[in-house]
Structure 1
């Protein structure tokens, strides 16, 4: 019985340390790359709605998301998922939507605009 309690405590400790390390890693990436200053607030809200809810992202905000870069984009999404307010969301679904949004923006920004 005592070994079961010790094992349970070790598992909880391991999981907690892993979550704290992930948070610190994302925070460090965000800080080192100045991620929070690379997009305007309106575009952050558009991207957030597109990824965490249902909505679209404008061409202008797609441009800002592409400039933000994949490293910042990924770290910001992962940090948001660590917030207890979003604990009921499926991380795999959100990460997939995040990648899809980023890829759609890359295609949109990289494609030549039609001539008028």
Structure 2
């Protein structure tokens, strides 16, 4: 029953923050590929992810990880990779660009 409540909370956050319409499908795919496989995400999509915001990013990741098709995956590792992807993007966006 707790998972249903968590799912409801994530859905509520996603709906209230209008997370789904704030980010393009290409960015979602690249961000999730970064989390699940490669650790790589382009500067363009890092910018979109940061604009989306940490609350939306976390809620979307948590909702995705609740999918029964992902049962058996190491959720702790995936959440850690999600946080690392967020932190990498934030650092990239916050860092000053090199002088030309």
User: Is TM more than 0.5 here?
Assistant: yes
Question: Unmatched 5+ residue regions in structure 2?
Answer: none
Whether 1:31 and 2:15 are equivalent positions in the alignment is yes
1:13 maps to which residue?
A: none
Instruction: Provide the C-alpha distance between the structure 1 equivalents of 2:66 and 2:94, rounded to a whole number of angstroms.
Output: 32
Aligned ranges 1:76-115 → 2 under 5 Å: 76-115=60-99
1:56-88 CA distance string (max 9 Å, x none): 100000000001111101110000010011112
2:37 maps to which residue?
A: 53
TM-score, normalization: structure 1?
0.83
2:51 maps to which residue?
A: 67
Greater gyration radius? 1
Count of aligned pairs: 100
Deviation at 1:114, TM superposition (A): 0.6
Question: Unmatched 5+ residue regions in structure 1?
Answer: 1-16
Deviation at 1:51, TM superposition (A): 0.5
TM-score, normalization: structure 2?
0.96
Deviation at 1:52, TM superposition (A): 1.6
1:12 maps to which residue?
A: none
